[in-house]
Chains A and B, each alone.
Chain A
Amino acid sequence: MAVQDAAARWDALGSRDASSRDAAMENIHQEVMRRVEGIGPIPKAPSSPPATATGLASDLNNILARVLMLSKRCPYSDVREKCKRILKSVQDLGVRIPRPLGNGPSRFIPEKEILQVSKVDTRTQTIFEDAFAALGRLDNISLVMGFHPQYLESFLRTQHYLLQMDGPLPLHYRHYIGIMAAARHQCSYLVNLHVNDFLQVGGDPKWLNGLDGAPQKLQALGELNKILAHRPWLLTKAHIESLLKAEEHSWSLAELIHAVVLLTHYHSLSSFTFGCGITPDIHTEGGHTFRPPSLSSGYCVCDIANGNGNGALEEMLGNHQLAEASGEVEVLMERMKQLQECRDEEEASQEEMTTRFEREKTESMLVSTSEDEENVPSRDISRHFEDPSYGYKDFSRRGEHVPTFRVQDYSWEDHGYSLVNRLYPDVGQLLDEKFQIAFNLTYNTMAMHQGVDTSMLRRAIWNYIHCMFGIRYDDYDYGEINQLLDRSFKVYIKTMVCSPEKTTKRMYESFWRQFQHSEKVHVNLLLMEARMQAELLYALRALTQYMT
């Protein structure tokens, strides 16, 4: 009951009406004060370890963390102000208040740049307000995507539909599948986010101990999750059949489609999370600290783990390299122009085209994911999936030749859409819109240049990712990829798509050095959607094969 009260209290902050927000704030303020008093006399010795804090104190800390989050992330300035005041007054009473860890929503992008966006653009502001009203929080993913409000809107609508609206799966199943998918990539950010949501919608905490604790039906999904995440081309109708025909634990077609969409959504979202270096939300574990800032703890733990400790050094190096890299954009633009013009002259033979595709495919395998350091998952995430050794394996390397997937034979627009929409109404439409927005999104700029037609570049990125999954477009000359995407960019793409947990800040910074952060986020969106579509295509094709 108390929990519900509290939830209602926070919810009211999402109201569009300033006075009701005001009232809610007042309410929270009182609550905080009441708890502060409840703790009693402030311990005199400031060095007393926080571990001795009573349950009440930890309760207070949770609230304070949340207030801190609001003071930074709430789209309403009045709430932000009031939260700051609360924190200040509490601090004046001698209570230790938290401070955010890390530098804003992303480790890769300076906080200033991200938050600037919301202040300038009214559209982004409205979307943020909507998201805040719906969820009571504004997660870091949305903040980073705020660079591209058009896409963000579609993304949030789809995600909201998948998680909250009518659908074949019960709510806690949906979050659990999200956890399973994110855990596959050891994405602690998404796992934590959905563990909370999962518990909130009444999920059984026992399930969180590992897949063994979950119902058999969900356990059966583990195999699909694994294959889909790392080697979707191995998916066959036998897998589908085993899920659909498992006696009392079997899935219905509609449920399975829902699950597949969720899995692919969270696989690709994990890619985005790592690709943009999303940091934990302020109010969640790892997003804040009660320790006073000290010089030694200048970096977040995860930074160190990812080898980003020498960020400052890197920046210097980066500046140094900037000079020599300044020509990069011009070179790229020149190439695009050339390709556009002399397309008709250099008429490559068909064999040549095929070889180009194969070469690109093989090369994409050889692009080493360089840093092979082991990433330590912050929470014990590995328990959510089995067989942690199962990873992306280059499908053409060990001679096991898989027939190429031809888009002309099974495309999203013609086939995938119809199947999804048939079994899970409206989702096909939502995904279709999202893919289209992601693919067609352009501001006609490249770094500092205006009025550039970037369609060629976007298509190259999209097709390169599909190529990594063995999906081929008959009507595309894969030589273009080689011209347009340089090696460091390929490394980044490959890492992000195939083993996102290995993405590092260095990779993020070493490609396209002159481009804006917003453009790099744009690239990330493309990667994410292309990956999702690739996985979906394999899954849906297997489903179609099963059905015929």
Chain B
Amino acid sequence: MAVMEKMTRASSGGMISGRTMFCHLDAPANAISVCRDATQVVVAGRNIFKIFALEDEGFVERLNLRVGRKPSLNFSCADVMWHQMEENLLATAATNGAVVTWNLGRPCRNKQEQLFTEHKRTVNKVCFHPTEVHMLLSGSQDGYMKCFDLRKKESVSTFSGQSESVRDVQFSMKDYFTFAASFENGNVQLWDIRRPDRYERMFTAHTGPVFCCDWHPEDRGWLATGGRDKMVKVWDMTTNRAKEIFCVQTIASVARVKWRPERKWHLATCSMMVDHNIYVWDVRRPYIPFATFEEHKDVTTGIVWRHQHDPDFLLSGSKDSTLYQHMFKDASRPVDRANPEGLCFGLFGDLAFAAKESLMSGEVGRKPYAGGDRRYPIFFFKKPDVTEQFAQVSSALSVFETAPGGAPMDWFIKTARRYLLSGRPFAELCEHNAKVAKDLNRPQVSTTWTMLRIMFSDPANPSSSSNHNLSKLGNLPLMNSFSMKEMSSALTERNKENRQDNIHNLDSNLNTTEDNEETEGSEGQAEYLFGDAELDDDDLYSMEHENQAAEEAEFSLPQEAFPLRHEIVDHPSAPEPLTEKPESPHVSGSEAEATCLTPMESFSLISVSSSLLFPPHLPPAFFSPVVIAMLRYYAEQGDVQMAVSVLIVLGDRIRREIDELTQEHWYMSYIDLLQRFELWNVSNEVIKLSTCGAISCLNQASTTLHINCSNCKRPMNNRGWICDRCHQCASVCAVCHHVVKGVFVWCQGCSHGGHLTHIMDWLRNSTYCPAACGHQCEYT
């Protein structure tokens, strides 16, 4: 179809006019083709074979070629082509293996002219020679290509593809004698029409069938191929070996490919399955289609540019029984909709940000972040051209690093490494973890652990003393901190300082500070802690503040309420100077920072009456709602580490209270984080300790070791330890020459190795490989 007679440019151009339009066919189309002067189009399919005239207002049916009472399978067309020189001549490829030519000039209703039934299987493609009037080529499922001279009754030559099915045949535009054929096994062959005995050249273009190919209309050597492997490749055939020069990855197998007239880099594709759109690609920009036509509702089966010198009209037929004419100006341009901004967090809090240059330039001067920012601008310019080019795209990439020394995620790594999650009694675990948190200067976390120990430990020492030390309270510093949104903590160093100040303030002002109403109301979740410095006793009660500011409904954190709370909690009404923090201007600017800075803690004095209201010893279940709320709170603050660790340590004490999905989500996030920080051991421990089915099976999936044979250095694809190729046992110890069972250690450089003990012994004396291969082995 793309093979068209060369015409002068002048004769085309303004001649064609029209608009985006469509018409309903009675049946799904398999292929379409246009006549030379672009005024008519033929549509062929299993149950349709019609010619439509292309008029300005729409399609007009001109002729139905499917005549006869019971149309035979010869009408069931897999492909159709209109001759580009002889405007009355058409050829179709029938699914039953027939090649049929049609002459529109015949006076009777049946326009069938010749019938060739030489192929044994479905004919996939027919193609007229671009300049030779009587030459027709066909390619069939039976593995043969046949060349017909229309003046004769049978084929003049047969080309054998060695029993591989032929999917497409195309005459070259420029070389009179050459044609290309694509095959079901992924090969493309080049043939000389005069030499049916042997192909001129063959190369493997795709894995799996190559459904289509198309010669570039102008460039002599370019051949585009599309395959089931979802790729479109452009080959330069002028060199000795076919060279792949462009490759476009689409999202579905490529059924047709057609170069766009007058645009050297453009080609149109449609797919065979799943995807219904037609794409026009600029082969130099393989990641995003240049234009898309989205009108069809089922797979597009045939595309053809209406005129060989007009790039603006595209015709398409589809399984949804419609025939469309697309105007290029009506195409949607994915690039316009693509979001040109990208944002990504680095592992250690670095932030990369890419955006349109125009957008960025406005802000460059502004220096939005103080301190150690560095910018790495990367510019990508493309020369602006006519509208037929991609829109000018230039973007800048900025990378923001945190100030040196900040290393804000250190605590995460250290915590992960040092936390104990199992293997000791519950109380010890809590104590240990509390200590770890304290060492890392995270007092709130530390306190939480201590509280957990108290709440859930067996009350070996009855907590009758729950209220005896109220008097002590006055002169003891309170273990206390904020919860912070750690993930975003990298944003600014300044916040950190604020935080420190904050803590300091709180600690020092403890006794006088009656905390601010606004913040605690909004968080709904604050914990009220009482305790002596050593935290050695059981007097810590986690209490919920009465939520006076409940009207501030925009905060949706779950709120637990103890019925008796309002009697025991004393609400100071006068906020301390600290209160200004949440409203401080530099914080309010960004939401993320706001969460960072919001002080959470508030303190109230528990009244003596508490001893009357609570029984001296509470069952652990009593605390569950509080602990759950606490876990959710941590998770939402971004400290999923805490949530998961507590979940594991508490185990059955709390597990059933939280729904599986949430747990799974937490685990997944934590494991993901751990793996980003390459804390493989910790992550594996977490997976092992998790009780979620979906998590614990992570360890059982996708574990693949690729092993090379130590003798022949080729991959061992067999299970077991015998190499297929050299038939040697691959796991022989290089020192003692026995087969290694159990732990096998080997050098990744030379692949020699052996028993762990033997190798260790050997390396004590020598740095060279025991197999005497001369490699200086390195074992880490």
Contacts and interface: CB of A to CB of B under 8 A. Distances in A.
B185 to A, nearest CB: 10
A379 B50 CA distance: 61
A475 B95 contact: yes
Contact of B299 (A20, A413, A548): A548
A350 B274 contact: no
A548 B95 contact: no
Contact of B121 (A343, A422, A475): A475
B117 A347 contact: yes
B386 to A, nearest CB: 37
A353 interface: yes
Given A474-B95, A475-B120, A415 B720 contact: no
Contacts of A475: 95-97, 119-122, 141
Interface stretch (B73-81, B402-410, B521-529, B598-606): B73-81
Contact of A418 (B70, B94, B121, B228): B228
Given A353-B96, A406-B46, A548-B299, A419 B720 contact: no
A48 interface: no
Contact of B95 (A347, A408, A415): A408
Contact of B273 (A15, A347, A544): A544
Contacts, number: 91
A440 to B, nearest CB: 9
Interface in A151-170: 166, 170
A344 B120 CA distance: 10
B94 to A, nearest CB: 8
Given A129-B720, A474-B73, A475-B95, A418 B273 contact: yes
B112 to A, nearest CB: 12
B719 A408 contact: no
B74 A419 contact: no
A33 to B, nearest CB: 24
Contacts of A20: 741
A353 B70 CA distance: 13
Contacts of A408: 46, 76, 78, 95, 122
Contacts of A417: 208, 228
Nearest to B253: A418
B183 to A, nearest CB: 12
Contacts of A17: 721, 729, 739, 741
Contacts of A343: 120
Interface string B92-130: 001111000000000000000000010111100000000
Interface string B76-92: 10100000000000000
Given A129-B720, A130-B718, A19 B739 contact: yes
B461 interface: no
A547 B702 CA distance: 30
A389 B72 CA distance: 40
A487 interface: no
Contacts of A134: 719
B209 interface: yes
A374 interface: no
Interface residues of A, number: 36
Interface in A502-548: 544, 547-548
B274 A547 contact: yes
Given A17-B741, A474-B96, A350 B718 contact: no
Nearest to B76: A474
A247 interface: no
B209 A413 contact: yes
Contacts of B95: 406, 408, 474-475
Size range of the chain B interface in the assembly: 35 or more
Nearest to A432: B208
Interface string A299-325: 000000000000000000000000000
A456 to B, nearest CB: 10
Given A16-B722, A129-B720, A422-B252, A351 B72 contact: yes
Q: Which of A17, A20, A432 has the most CB of B within 10 A?
A: A17
B168 interface: no
Interface string B723-745: 00000010000000001010000
A475 to B, nearest CB: 4
Q: Which of B117, B122, B272 has the most CB of A within 10 A?
A: B122
A16 B723 CA distance: 11
B214 interface: no
B408 to A, nearest CB: 36
Contacts of B78: 408
A338 interface: no
A548 B721 contact: no
A130 B274 contact: no
B273 A419 contact: yes
Q: Which of A344, A475, A547 has the most CB of B within 10 A?
A: A475
Contacts of A19: 739
A347 to B, nearest CB: 7
B593 interface: no
B192 interface: no
A71 to B, nearest CB: 22
B492 to A, nearest CB: 42
B702 A166 contact: yes
B297 interface: yes
A23 to B, nearest CB: 9
Contacts of B299: 548
A244 interface: no
Contacts of B350: none
A19 B721 CA distance: 13
Interface in A426-460: 432
Q: Which of A409, A432, A474 has the most CB of B within 10 A?
A: A474
A16 B252 contact: no
A16 B720 contact: yes
Interface in A4-20: 15-17, 19-20
A475 B741 CA distance: 59
B192 to A, nearest CB: 28
7 cross-chain pairs, A with B, having the tightest CB-CB distances, nearest first: A350-B72, A474-B95, A16-B720, A418-B273, A408-B95, A474-B96, A475-B97
20 contacts: A16-B729, A17-B729, A130-B719, A166-B701, A353-B73, A408-B46, A413-B228, A414-B228, A417-B208, A417-B228, A418-B274, A419-B274, A422-B273, A422-B274, A474-B76, A474-B94, A474-B97, A475-B97, A547-B274, A548-B276
Given A408-B78, A544-B273, 4 more contacts: A408-B76, A414-B272, A418-B253, A474-B73
